[in-house]
Amino acid sequence: MIKKLKQHQDDFDLLISKVSSLKELKQLRSEFLGKKGCVSLMLNEMRSLPDDQKPQAGKHINEFKQSVATLIQEKTQVFEKAFDQTSVNSEEFDTTLPGRRNSSGSIHPVTQIMDEIISIFFSLGFKVEEGPEIESDFYNFEALNIPKDHPARDMQDTFYIGNDVLRTHTSPVQIHVMENQKPPLRIIAPGKVFRCDSDVSHTPMFHQIEGLMVDENLSFGDLKGVMNIFLHEIFGQQTKTRFRPSFFPFTCPSAEVDIECVMCSGKGCQVCSKTGWLEILGCGMVDPAVFKSVNYDSERWLGFAFGLGIERIAMLKYRINDIRLFFENDLRFLKQF
């Protein structure tokens, strides 16, 4: 029995030293440790030994079984590690696959319209001014002839920051400019404005352009002329416009300007609420109370001002029905412009 065991041990030592793959190792394991392997056979044979020899033989067989199992286990780990490495090294690289491209960006539609509007007014002699997005009550309301308790304050759902506000319109830039510059002047002020409002046609932040011209002998006719030139440039020369009397605390007289509906050409549709007209901007002659708050002599100087929402113009021009699309940053939407 001991002799046989010695022979098996020698066989195993030789075989395991020659093993060159996981497959061969598996086979070796079944030859020695499997159900019909040599260890099982020897344990069977052991039963026929005389009782006094059994413990001794059992001990040797078990030791042999242990050592075979350990060596196979060790060798398996060595092979597995080597296999992982070679599979990484030899991984096929398919040079025919298309590469990953960086998609190129595009100018945001709101910025595009803003740039277009700026260049139209630039050609009419207006220069660009900017103002802060956080304003005091004075600049956002008071100096624009919107005193406390004035109902016009309710028209704009204001975000308050302590005593200050997020500007609800770009009109306060008028005040900053007139405080710092002497007339005559022509400015436009593009920028972000904020109102606590959100639905298909409102977002809490949107963009406006404010315009202001101050000179001697300005008339409502000049305002009309400038607005018409602007609207014809943006929407096309055939676009019909109309001026409707309106009210703004900072202009008098005030008007709202409509264009003939771009969707139905004035026939009446859902977009224009069956009126055939779309409201585009507010404007008017600067109220003398505003000149007074910046110490301009309203006996000598006249002015006109206007304000418009950029997203609204972009929506009409590109036929977009939900303002929120501008701010979702979905590349499929943004790439179309």
Q: Contact residues for ligand DAH (CB under 6 A)?
A: 169, 171, 210, 248, 251, 282-284, 305-307
Intra-chain end-to-end CA distance of the chain, in Å: 89
In 3D space, the residue among 247, 245, 244 whose CA is nearest the CA of residue 277 turns out to be 244
Q: Residue 226 or 283: which CB sits closer to ligand DAH?
A: 283
CA distances from 155 to 150, 168, 247 (A): 10, 10, 12
Q: How far is the CB of 237 from ligand DAH (least distance, A)?
A: 25
Q: Residue 150 or 319: which CB sits closer to ligand DAH?
A: 150
Rounded distance between C-alpha atoms, residue 273 and residue 203, angstroms: 21
Q: Residue 13 or 197: which CB sits closer to ligand DAH?
A: 197
Q: How far is the CB of 284 from ligand DAH (least distance, A)?
A: 4
241: left (phi over 0), alpha (psi -120 to 50) or beta: beta
Q: How far is the CB of 252 from ligand DAH (least distance, A)?
A: 10
Q: What is the DSSP string of 224-248?
A: HHHHHHHHHHHH-TT--EEEEEEEE
Which residues in 146-183 are b (16+ Cβ under 10 Å) and which e? beeeeeebeebebbeeeebbbbbbbbbbbbbbbeeeeb
Q: How far is the CB of 223 from ligand DAH (least distance, A)?
A: 9
Q: Residue 248 or 291: which CB sits closer to ligand DAH?
A: 248
Rounded distance between C-alpha atoms, residue 336 and residue 149, angstroms: 45
Q: How far is the CB of 139 from ligand DAH (least distance, A)?
A: 12
Q: Residue 25 or 290: which CB sits closer to ligand DAH?
A: 290
Task: Report DSSP state, residue 150.
Answer: -
Rounded distance between C-alpha atoms, residue 321 and residue 102, angstroms: 30
Q: Residue 32 or 183: which CB sits closer to ligand DAH?
A: 183
Q: What is the dihedral of CA 175, 177, 182, 184, to 10 degrees?
A: -90
Q: Residue 65 or 251: which CB sits closer to ligand DAH?
A: 251
Q: How far is the CB of 187 from ligand DAH (least distance, A)?
A: 11
CA 114 to chain centre: 19
Q: How far is the CB of 236 from ligand DAH (least distance, A)?
A: 24
Q: How far is the CB of 281 from ligand DAH (least distance, A)?
A: 7
Q: How far is the CB of 283 from ligand DAH (least distance, A)?
A: 5
Rounded distance between C-alpha atoms, residue 9 and residue 16, angstroms: 11
| CA-only gyration radius of the chain, Å | 43
Q: Are 317 and 113 within 8 A, CB to CB?
A: yes
* Residue of closest CB approach to ligand DAH: 307
Q: Residue 158 or 251: which CB sits closer to ligand DAH?
A: 251
CA distances from 149 to 161, 249, 292 (A): 19, 13, 20
Q: Residue 68 or 257: which CB sits closer to ligand DAH?
A: 257
